[in-house]
Amino acid sequence: MKRMHVAGMHWLGRLSDRFNCCAEVKARAWAEAKEAWVELGLLAQTPTPQSATYQAQAFEVTLADGPARAFVYHSLSRDRKKEHTLPREIEPECKRRESLQNNVTGKTFRCAVDAEHGVALCQGTTPFRWLTVSTTVVPQEALVNHRGPPKEGALIETPPEYTIQFQVTEPLPEVIQAERKRRSRFVLGTSNLAFDAKTALQEDKGQDQNEHGFRWTKSSIHLGAFWLEKPERVASLGYVLWLALPFARFMRAVVRAELKDQPPLELPYRKVKRPSETVMLEAFRDWDLRRQSHETSTWHQRIAVLPYQRRLLEALDLPIDRGLVGEPPG
């Protein structure tokens, strides 16, 4: 970040809690009133009922010896995801509490020191985060059985015994709800001071195309298992895949532009409004190519082009009925 700042380059990315300013801006955003949050609404290109809606606050901070902006976002979709995460975190504590409680329930101790030791074992070495566990040492009189009737005027000794009372308080609903809201907030930082909260989030979401590209190049659809033998051939294959990726992205952009205002593409297993590269490659896997010959000419002809294949070919402005000269791949 410092090198980019010196070179005059801008950076944008998610800030983890390792940055001191991240915890600071989260605390400041948490303390602000509800009116301080700016509504960003839906940012998905094709919104669905499950699409996330965002709220944001902006703060001026200093990062890597340079000015920067930190945006704290609250995502309602992330809040819904945490509804199942928190119960899974509380459940192990409940099981651990039951195990510890069973270890001391019904036990008696002859002295207070042993009882305090039992309390320490009951509480365990790992503190509870969600459950409030309280233990109390309670003395009580113990019955002493003497052989025969007691002598007249003799004092009956009743040495005390000690037991442990175990009390557990479940987390309050408002505490759980507050924790969900806290976890549904994340921070983006950027050195570009011209960015607002919406622009920064859109730019950050656009960076996922890189990860999608890595996944696409390693897909088994167009890269099967075969032996390259030499390291330089592995490097050559990498360059070929890098060249294929922008071509596939271009093909995707053309098809989506052509099908933008048209009905969805009806595939055998689903309907797709904005087909991806993988969807198109899967659609063309069922191509029926047959070898044709006439006198000295040999070519391969598409036979029985399926409706969804025809729509894709028309969107790409490729000839449908023209023969393919030469041996087809595979």
Which range, 155-159, 180-184, 274-278, 294-298, is most confident? 274-278
Question: Has residue 86 got a pLDDT over 80?
Answer: no
Where do we find the tokens 């490729």?
A: 318
Burial 98-117 (b: 16+ CB within 10 A, else e): eebbeebeeeebeeeeebee
Q: What CA–CA distance (Å, rounded) separates 75 from 113?
A: 52
Name the range with the highest mean pLDDT among 47-51, 169-173, 185-189, 321-325.
185-189
Residue 232 has pLDDT above 90, yes or no: yes
**Mean pLDDT taken over the chain:** 78
Cα 156-158-159 angle, rounded to 5 deg: 140
Q: Taking a C-beta distance cutoff of 8 angstroms, is the pair 37, 56 a contact?
A: yes
**Whether the Cβ atoms of residue 121 and residue 166 lie closer than 8 Å to each other:** no
Q: How many angstroms separate the Cα of 223 from the Cα of each of 212, 241, 276, 330? A: 16, 9, 17, 12
3-state helix/strand/coil string of 224-279:
CCCCCCCHHHHHHHHHHHHHHHHHHHHHHHHHHHHCCCCCCEECCCCEECCCCHHH
Q: Which value, to the nearest 10 degrees, does the dihedral of the CA atoms of residues 242, 243, 246, 247 take?
A: -140
Q: What is the pLDDT of residues 181-229, one digit of tens each?
A: 777 788 999 999 999 999 999 888 877 666 677 777 777 666 667 788 8
Alpha helices in the chain (DSSP H): 2-6, 20-31, 76-104, 112-123, 173-183, 197-206, 208-217, 231-258, 277-284, 307-315
The structure's pTM equals: 0.53
The predicted pLDDT at position 83 comes to 59
d(CA 82, CA 51): 15
Distance of alpha carbon 221 from alpha carbon 234, whole angstroms = 18
Q: What is the mean pLDDT of residues 138-147?
A: 65
- Asked if 246 and 221 touch (Cβ cutoff 8 Å), the reply is no
Sign of CA dihedral 25, 29, 32, 37: positive
Residue-wise pLDDT for 255-266, tens only, equals 999 998 899 999
Q: What is the mean pLDDT of residues 89-116?
A: 75
pLDDT at 99: 75
Least confident residue range of 274-278, 281-285, 300-304: 300-304
Has residue 330 got a pLDDT over 50? no
Give the residue carrying structure tokens 């700016």: 38
The closest of 235, 241, 248 to 223, measured between CA atoms, is 241
What's the pLDDT score for residue 194? 92
- Amino acid identity at 317: D
Burial bucket for residue 319 (CB in 10 Å: 0-12, 13-18, 19+): exposed
Residue type (1 letter), 265: L
Cα 184 to Cα 41, 55, 73, 107, 311: the distances in Å are 15, 11, 8, 44, 42
As a whole number, mean pLDDT of residues 66-91 equals 75
Residue 245: HSE in the Cβ half-sphere, 13 Å Cα cutoff? 17
In terms of pLDDT, which residue wins out, 54 or 151?
54
Give the pLDDT confidence of 5-21 residue by residue, as tens digits. Answer: 888 889 998 888 888 88
So what's the pLDDT on residue 3? 87
Strand pairing partners for 135? 166
**Which contacts (CB < 8 Å, 24+ apart) does range 101-106 have?**
101/166, 101/168, 104/135, 104/164, 104/166, 105/166
